[in-house]
Structure 1
Amino acid sequence: MTRRHFIAGSAGLALASTTAKAGYDGTWFDISLAQWSLNKAFWSGEKDKLRFAQIARDEFGITAIEYVNQFYQDGFSDKTVAELARVSREEGVRNVLIMCDREGRLGDPDAAARTKAVDNHVKWIEAARALGCHAIRVNAASEGAFDEQMQLAADGLRRLSEIGDTYGINVIVENHGGLSSNGAWLAAVMRTVDHPRCGTLPDFGNFVINRDTGEDYDAYLGTKQLMPFARGVSAKTFNFDADGNESGLDYPRLMEIVRAAGYRGHVGIEWEGDSLDEPAGIMATRKLLERMGGRV
């Protein structure tokens, strides 16, 4: 083979690889369903939390899911994990991640409390591995001055990421209130942690720093700042207009930021509005994401 033909052939292979990633039909990311989208139904007992994988597939045609640990904290055991694994396996549904809350502040100023928070998350790392998830989603909650919180959060996240590494599980942080909803701050935390297992989960609708004062952060700037570290993306929706667009967020702009960053993983539906019931909100979000290039 001549050098010219080798280069031409290599270029063709590179193009084929890019096309395969993007999908011949123009799709470029996978759609998953965050369990929080059905939080009312799960909290009330209307839907069975152990059948989440079956619900996602049968009711919404979605075969990738993101668990919320809050629904399983009471009475959590290996038996719970085994049942979730069985149902998802039989339904052919992929378990993507577990969203973890109420396990303490990973950036707590009190060293003992911070260590306890790290320890509290280990059982979810173990559950994530058993379920075949790639990550747990955590929070970077702390207290104190801007730089102080950065160092404290980085300490807890680094230690948890080192543990996650021994299980092959990523530790990813959502912008979830407080300074974590400041894109520049959370990006700086990622650089401080500097661990290959630590990343972000940008949530389009969670850039509110203080709900009491109404202080928020630019969602488009924040998404752009967090995407270089992203191991997941949360497609938060609240309201839709008559054309099926999210009325408060420019989804074409947001998804172009995601695409331009080179992200090709799962984008999770997280319906959180009141204008539609939960099933309708989920399906409206699915249709929106499909228009943006998503596939189920």
Structure 2
Amino acid sequence: MSKAEQREQMSNGAGFIAALDQSGGSTPKALALYGVEASDYSSDEEMFGEIQKMRARIILADDFTKAKVIGAILFERTLGEEIDGRKVADYLWSQKGIVPFLKIDKGLEDQANGVQMMKPIPGLAETLAKADGVFGTKERSVIHEANSEGIAAVVAQQFDVAREVVAAGMVPIVEPEVNINSSTKAEAEDILKAEILKNLDQLDEGQDIMLKLTIPNKANLFDELADHPRVVRVVALSGGYSTEQACDLLNQNGKMIASFSRALTEGLSKQQSEAEFNAALGGNIDKIFRASV
């Protein structure tokens, strides 16, 4: 694995990052949208087996290559799974040319001060040390209101974790999501931008990060973040928008690329034939790619 080659692809590659990191909390909903109901599995093992089959089907699809997909975020459990006899992270890079990332957060605390902080991440150092073939990480918080104290706390926590990831030789994707349904979304985004800039300016040379942010109400609001010397790339989450909505909004932000999850898998079904599945996925990939470039 060439870290320099992967870094170049993440910095300048044309395309988007696929979010395939559905965890224990989000997996049942993702499976239901895919046509797999709760009654179709009777244990967590069977549930995770079903979501891995879905991920593998996506990764194996002809259109899922570095021509349009430059990176993919995986759930920790996925690192132990295989596709065609190779670990998933290795398969992504060696067979598809796609840079692998790892979701490391353990979910969210209850809401306080208008935000949801990350839960503690026990054993993070060990997790990072075992993440063979992984270029970077992703960790998510959520902002619900334009609360200055809450947003400052979210960003400070994110950057504390980011420093630990950087120290392990990886590139963190800092993700302080703003709820798209927030009545104070625009105000929250202004506060968030200021807090991120403050924290970026405190990083040392070489402590480089990526940012994963909700598509802002004000077009190109995050351009200044994208231009910061400590930022490798700014990527956008779909946040519950439909594929069409998310792509339309992303088109208005020239320095952001997509990192979509639900929008990527919209319209996919376990019951589809391979031709139908590949056509639906290929259509989504093309829309998201065009919005990202």
Q: Please state which band the TM-score falls in when normalised by the shorter chain.
A: 0.5 to 0.7
Is 2:99 the partner of 1:99? no
Which of 249, 253, 257 aligns to 2:253? It is 257
Which of 85, 88, 103 aligns to 1:84? It is 88
CA spacing shift, 1:250–1:90, aligned 2, 3 Å: closer
Distance of 2:118 and 2:235 partners within structure 1:
28
Which of 15, 30, 33 aligns to 1:30? It is 15
- 1:49-101: CA deviations, max 9, x gaps? 6x9467424353324442342x72xxx8x855983344335524423322344
Q: What's the TM-score once normalised by structure 1's chain length?
A: 0.57
Q: Which runs of 5+ in 1 are unaligned?
A: 1-20, 22-26, 205-216, 241-245
SS in 1 for 2:267: coil
CA spacing shift, 1:105–1:163, aligned 2, 3 Å: farther
SS in 1 for 2:162: helix
- Note the C-alpha offset of 1:284: 2.2
SS in 1 for 2:120: helix
Residue type of the alignment partner of 2:61: D
Aligned length: 234
- Note the C-alpha offset of 1:273: 8.2
Q: Name the counterpart of 2:172.
A: 171
Kept in 2, the 8 Å contact 1:234–1:270? The answer is no
Q: Name the counterpart of 1:61.
A: 64
Distance of 1:87 and 1:272 partners within structure 2:
23
CA spacing shift, 1:202–1:167, aligned 2, 3 Å: same
- Note the C-alpha offset of 1:155: 3.1
Q: Name the counterpart of 1:146.
A: 147
Kept in 2, the 8 Å contact 1:104–1:120? The answer is no
Write 1 or 2 for the structure with the bigger share of helix.
1
Distance of 2:151 and 2:292 partners within structure 1:
35
- Note the C-alpha offset of 1:33: 2.4
- 1:151-199: CA deviations, max 9, x gaps? 3223322321221221222332334345896322321231232324344
Matching of residues 182-221 of structure 1 within 5 Å = 182-194=188-200, 195=203, 196-204=207-215, 218=217, 220=219
Q: Which has the larger radius of gyration?
A: 1
Kept in 2, the 8 Å contact 1:201–1:232? The answer is yes
Residue type of the alignment partner of 1:91: Q
Is 2:282 the partner of 1:283? yes
Residue type of the alignment partner of 2:137: I
Is 2:233 the partner of 1:231? yes
SS in 2 for 1:56: helix
Residue type of the alignment partner of 2:213: P
Q: What's the TM-score once normalised by structure 2's chain length?
A: 0.57
Kept in 2, the 8 Å contact 1:35–1:65? The answer is no
- 1:209-268: CA deviations, max 9, x gaps? xxxxxxxx626365557645573423638546xxxxx2x3563x633523xx4x6xx643
Is 2:147 the partner of 1:136? no
- Note the C-alpha offset of 1:201: 0.9
Residue type of the alignment partner of 1:231: R
CA spacing shift, 1:87–1:106, aligned 2, 3 Å: farther
Distance of 1:291 and 1:116 partners within structure 2:
35
Residue type of the alignment partner of 2:193: A
Kept in 1, the 8 Å contact 2:220–2:253? The answer is no
CA spacing shift, 1:57–1:148, aligned 2, 3 Å: same
Kept in 2, the 8 Å contact 1:66–1:97? The answer is yes
